[in-house]
Amino acid sequence: MGTRCRIMSPNGEGAVVRYYPLFLDITGRKCVVIGGGNVAERKVERLLACGACVEVVGKSLTPLLSARNGEGKVVHRDADYQDSCLVGAFLVIGATDDEAVNGRIAKDARALGIPVNIVDDLARCDFILPSIVERGDLSIAVSTGGRSPALARKIRKELETVYGPDYAILLEILGELRGKVIAGGRPSGENRACFEAVVSSEILDHIRAKRWEDVKDLIRGLTGVEMEVEPR
């Protein structure tokens, strides 16, 4: 990871960590999870959903992780942790219940320049994992900087009531529309105005009411684009 620096708080009383938010493409990347319990299981499932090549290190696995290994979806290294487990990893998650082992994982990963997350040990994390709301390709991440995962979960649940499944449909339509509008060759400023007009319109209300003809009419009127909007 190179040289690590800490930014002092304004009053000089200690280091302040400011995490840089980003969405990372881990498709086809080797991601190593050390531990085979319930916490490791949750981390593995999320990594698999994002297309990672996951290796799980541990002497025992949950039934679901065993099933994933049997399905060929994860590689299981039936062994105690050692630094060789990290070779070639893109990122590492330590999810054991042994503090000494977790400390070794963090130290070894950093020595190899591999970003590491140690579950429930913020001081040993290079990155933290936010609470996520997903609606199709729409992802909303909530983080408290590791200070209160419970609060992050509460906020996520509140967001889930605001951003329902209709947003997945809206984003699918907008994605197709964007390609058609850009292909029209108009200036980028005009395109931007079209997109903003659509997202600010009553299109979401039409989607919720399954008024697909109204959706098509609205898009045509605001952008001049003809689209087939299939009932969902």
As a whole number of angstroms, the distance between CA 61 and CA 78 comes to: 9
Helices 212-223 and 166-183, packing angle to 10 deg: 30
Greatest alpha-carbon span in the chain: 64
**What residue type is assigned to position 8 of the chain?**
M
Tell me the DSSP string of the chain.
------EEPTTSSSEE----------TT-EEEEE--SHHHHHHHHHHHHTT-EEEEE-S---HHHHHHHHTTSEEEE-S---GGGGTT-SEEEE--S-HHHHHHHHHHHHHTT--EEETT-GGG-SS---EEEEETTEEEEE--TTS-HHHHHHHHHHHHHHS-THHHHHHHHHHHHHHHHHHTT--HHHHHHHHHHHHTTTHHHHHHTT-HHHHHHHHHHHH---------
pLDDT of residue 11: 44
pLDDT in tens, the chain (232 residues): 444 554 444 444 555 678 899 999 999 999 999 999 999 999 999 999 999 999 999 999 999 999 999 999 999 999 999 999 999 999 999 999 999 999 999 999 999 999 999 999 999 999 999 999 999 999 999 999 888 989 999 999 999 999 999 999 999 999 999 999 999 999 999 999 999 999 999 999 999 999 999 999 999 999 999 998 875 5
Which CATH fold topology does 7-129 show?
Answer: Rossmann fold (3.40.50)
pLDDT attached to residue 230 = 74
Cα–Cα dist 99/40, whole Å = 15
- pLDDT reported for residue 16: 65
pTM for the complete prediction? 0.82
- Are 162 and 155 within 8 A, CB to CB? no
Task: List, in order, residues 6 or more apart from 42 with CB less than 8 Å away.
Answer: none
What sign for the dihedral angle of Cα 19, 25, 29, 30? positive
- Angle at which helix 166-183 crosses helix 188-199, to 10 degrees, equals 160
